[in-house]
C-alpha cells in the first residue's frame, strides 16, 4: 500500500459542503466501497442510516453518570484497603490526588479531540489515532484498548460473585452465570436502555459514597455510638501516616507513595475512554460532552480524594480486621475499609447495605467497560481494521456482532470458580490495568499530534472545547504513564520479592503491545505519521458534517425549577 508520507493532492477527494440540503444530497448518493472503508474515507459517514450507523440515544444525564459509574467500582470501595495496609493513609491520599489530576488531563485531551468531530466511527481512541497518527499506531491502540475493556468486564463479574458470597455459600458458578446474562443483555439492548440502567445504578453508587464520606466526617468528630472523643487524625499519628515499603526512611516512604499510585490505577483506568466512546450515540454531543468533562473532574476529586481521606482517617493501616480480611483473600464488604471503620465505632446495620451498594458498583463498572469494548470493535470495523461484519448494527443502532466478541470474554469469569485457574485470571486482570496505562500514553501522543495539525491548518477557531495548558499537560501525562508502565512491577526486582507470576502480570503487556506494533507496521507498511495534506482532506469534511448536524439540533431547555436544578447537578 501507498505510504502516507508519499501522499499528494491526488488522494481521496473531499466532500464539498455547500450548506443546508446540499450536504445531504452530496452524501446520501455515496456508497461504502471496500477501498473507502480501508482508507477511512469520509464516505463511511453518510447520512442515509447505513448498516453501520448507530443511533443517538444517550442524554446529558446518562453521559454524566456513565462517566462516574465506570470509574466508581470495587477499586474504590475495596481496593483502597490493600493500598492502605501496604502503604499507609498519606500515600493513599497522595496517590488519589495525583491520579485524579492525570485522569483529568486525559479527559480534557480526549474531549477536545472528540468534540471537534463527534460523529459515528470517529469518537473512539482508535479512530483518533488513525486520523492523526497512522494506521500501525491506531492498530496497536485499538486492539490494546479493546482487550483492556473486554477483560475488565469478567473481572467485575467475578467481583460481583464474591460480593454475593458475603451472604451465601452457594456455588459461585451460579452467580457468575446470572451476571454474565445480565451484563450481555443490558449491553445488547438499545442504547437508551443501557443509559437508563447505568444512570440509576450509578445514582446508587454516588449516593453510597456520598453517605460514606458524610459518615466519615461524623466519625472524625467522634459521633459514632462507641466513640467517646474526637478521633481526628489519630491513625495518622498512631501507627503513622506512612508505612515504609521495600526500604526504610525516606526511600521507603517514596516507594510507599509510588506503590499506592500503581495500586490506585485500577480504580481509575479507562473511565475517560468509556465516556468518549458514548459520543457517537449521545444526543447533542457538542453540548453534552463538554458538560460531562467539566463536571467529571470535580466529582472525581470529591468522591475519590474524599473517599481516600475518609479511609485513612477512620482505619489504621495496622487494623487487625483489615489485615485479616486481606490475608484471607476476602473481596467483599468484609475487606472494605469503609465497612471496617463503621464496625469499629459500633455501627452494626450498615455493612449489608454497603455490600449491596458495592455489588451494584461492580456490576455497573463491568457493563460500562463491555459497552466500551463493543463500540471500540465497531469503530475498528468501520475503518477496516476489524472484519466488516462487526460494523453492522440492527434497526435500533446496536452493533450486535461487536457485542458478541467481548461477551465471550465474560466467560473467563468461570476461571475463578476453581482455585487452580484463578491465578491465571488474576494475571489477565492485572494485564488489562497496564493496558489502560498504555492507552493513556496513546491519548497524550495523539493529542500532541492533534494540536500540531490544528495549528498548522489554522483551525483553532473551530475548536469547541479546550482547557488551558493541555499541550504541556499532554507531555507531562504521557511521560508519567510511560514511567508508570515501566516501573509498575519494580518490587519484583528488589531483594526477596522476585516472582515469575508477578513479573509476567506486570510486563507481558509491553511485549504484547510491541507484537501488535510489529504486526501493524508490517501489514500496513507505514513508517511515518500521516502527512498534513491527507489529514486536511479527511478532517475538514468531518468538521463540516458535525457543524451541519449541530445546526439542525433542536435544543429544549427546561422551564421548571427542578429541571433547571437537575441541569446544574447532572
Q: What is the CATH number of the domain that holds 336?
A: 1.20.1740.10
Q: What is the pLDDT of residues 139-152, one digit of tens each?
A: 999 999 888 888 88
Residue-range definition of the domain harbouring residue 420: 65-541
3-state DSSP assignment of residue 346:
coil
| 442 located within any domain | yes
Q: What's the pTM value of the predicted model, to 2 decimals?
A: 0.82
Eight-class DSSP state of 282: B
| 44 located within any domain | no
Q: Report the alpha-carbon angle 429-431-436, nearest 5.
A: 100
Return the exposure string of 87-103: e unless at least 16 CB atoms fall within 10 Å of the residue's CB, then b.
bbbbbbbbbbebbbbbb
| 424 located within any domain | yes
| 319 located within any domain | yes
Comparing 80-89, 461-470, 494-503, the range with the smallest average pLDDT is 494-503
Contacts of 452 (CB under 8 A, 6+ apart): none
pLDDT of residue 332: 55
For residues 450 and 188, what is the distance between their CA atoms, to the nearest angstrom? 33
Comparing 210-219, 338-347, 559-568, the range with the smallest average pLDDT is 559-568
| 43 located within any domain | no
| 38 located within any domain | no
Q: 198 vs 257, which has greater pLDDT?
A: 257
Phi and psi at 121, nearest 5°, equal 85, -5
Q: What is the pLDDT of residues 514-527, one digit of tens each?
A: 999 999 999 999 88
Q: 322 vs 514, which has greater pLDDT?
A: 514
Comparing 44-58, 296-310, 421-435, the range with the smallest average pLDDT is 44-58
| pLDDT band at residue 301 under the 50/70/90 scheme | confident
| pLDDT band at residue 347 under the 50/70/90 scheme | confident
Instruction: Give the gyration radius of the chain's Cα atoms.
Output: 24
| 32 located within any domain | no
Domain count, the chain: 1
Residue 21 has pLDDT above 70, yes or no: no
- Cell 489529514 sits on residue: 535
Contact 369, 149 (CB under 8 A): yes
Q: What is the mean pLDDT of the chain?
A: 80
| 563 located within any domain | no
Amino acid at each position: 500500500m501507498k505510504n502516507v508520507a508519499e501522499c499528494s493532492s491526488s488522494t481521496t477527494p473531499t466532500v464539498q459542503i455547500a450548506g443546508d440540503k446540499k450536504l445531504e444530497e452530496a452524501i446520501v448518493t455515496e456508497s461504502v466501497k471496500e477501498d473507502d472503508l480501508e482508507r477511512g474515507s469520509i464516505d463511511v459517514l453518510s447520512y442515509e442510516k447505513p448498516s453501520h450507523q448507530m443511533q443517538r440515544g444517550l442524554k446529558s444525564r446518562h453521559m454524566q453518570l456513565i462517566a462516574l459509574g465506570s470509574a466508581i467500582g470495587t477499586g474504590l470501595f475495596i481496593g483502597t484497603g490493600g493500598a492502605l495496609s501496604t502503604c499507609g493513609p498519606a500515600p493513599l491520599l497522595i496517590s488519589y490526588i495525583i491520579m485524579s489530576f492525570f485522569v483529568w488531563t486525559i479527559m480534557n485531551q480526549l474531549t477536545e479531540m472528540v468534540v471537534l468531530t463527534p460523529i459515528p466511527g470517529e469518537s473512539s481512541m482508535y479512530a483518533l489515532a488513525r486520523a492523526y497518527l497512522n494506521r500501525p499506531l491506531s492498530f496497536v491502540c485499538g486492539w490494546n484498548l479493546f482487550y483492556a475493556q473486554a477483560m475488565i468486564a469478567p473481572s467485575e463479574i467475578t467481583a460481583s460473585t464474591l460480593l454475593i458470597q458475603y451472604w451465601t455459600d452457594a456455588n459461585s458458578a451460579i452467580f457468575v452465570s446470572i451476571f454474565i446474562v445480565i451484563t450481555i443483555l443490558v449491553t445488547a439492548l438499545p442504547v437508551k436502555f443501557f443509559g437508563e440502567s447505568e444512570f440509576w445504578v450509578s445514582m446508587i453508587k454516588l449516593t453510597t459514597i456520598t453517605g460514606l464520606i458524610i459518615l466519615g466526617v461524623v466519625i472524625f468528630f467522634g459521633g459514632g455510638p462507641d466513640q467517646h472523643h474526637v478521633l481526628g487524625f489519630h491513625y495518622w499519628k498512631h501507627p503513622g501516616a506512612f508505612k515504609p515499603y521495600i526500604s526504610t526512611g525516606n526511600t521507603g516512604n517514596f516507594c510507599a507513595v509510588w506503590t499506592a499510585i500503581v495500586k490506585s490505577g485500577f480504580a481509575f483506568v479507562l473511565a475517560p475512554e468509556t465516556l468518549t466512546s458514548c459520543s457517537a450515540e449521545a444526543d447533542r454531543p457538542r453540548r453534552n460532552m463538554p458538560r460531562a468533562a467539566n463536571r467529571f473532574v470535580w466529582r472525581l476529586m470529591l468522591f475519590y480524594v474524599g473517599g481516600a481521606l475518609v479511609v485513612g482517617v477512620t482505619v489504621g493501616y495496622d487494623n487487625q480486621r483489615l489485615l485479616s480480611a486481606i490475608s484471607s483473600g476476602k473481596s467483599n464488604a468484609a475487606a472494605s475499609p469503609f465497612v471496617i471503620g463503621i464496625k469499629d465505632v459500633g455501627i452494626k446495620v450498615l455493612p449489608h447495605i454497603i455490600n449491596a451498594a458495592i455489588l451494584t458498583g461492580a456490576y455497573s463498572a463491568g457493563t460500562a467497560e463491555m459497552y466500551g469494548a463493543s463500540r471500540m470493535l465497531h469503530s475498528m470495523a468501520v475503518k477496516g481494521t476489524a472484519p466488516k461484519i462487526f460494523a453492522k448494527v440492527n434497526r435500533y443502532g446496536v452493533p450486535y456482532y461487536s457485542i458478541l466478541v467481548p461477551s465471550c470474554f465474560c466467560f473467563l469469569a468461570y476461571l475463578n470458580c476453581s482455585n487452580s485457574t484463578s491465578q491465571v485470571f488474576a494475571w489477565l486482570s492485572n494485564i488489562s490495568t497496564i493496558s489502560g496505562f498504555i492507552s493513556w500514553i496513546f491519548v497524550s501522543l495523539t493529542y500532541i499530534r492533534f494540536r500540531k495539525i490544528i495549528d498548522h491548518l489554522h483551525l483553532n477557531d473551530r475548536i469547541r472545547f479546550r482547557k488551558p495548558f493541555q499541550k504541556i499537560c499532554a507531555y507531562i501525562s504521557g511521560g508519567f504513564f510511560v514511567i508508570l508502565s515501566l516501573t509498575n512491577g519494580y518490587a519484583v526486582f528488589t531483594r526477596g520479592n522476585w516472582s515469575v507470576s508477578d513479573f509476567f502480570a506486570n510486563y507481558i503487556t509491553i511485549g504484547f503491545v510491541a507484537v501488535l506494533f510489529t504486526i501493524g507496521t508490517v501489514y500496513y507498511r507505514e513508517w511515518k505519521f500521516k502527512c498534513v495534506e491527507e489529514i486536511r482532506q479527511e478532517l475538514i469534511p468531518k468538521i463540516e458534517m458535525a457543524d451541519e448536524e449541530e445546526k439542525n439540533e433542536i435544543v429544549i431547555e427546561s422551564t421548571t425549577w427542578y429541571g433547571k436544578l437537575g441541569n446544574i447537578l447532572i
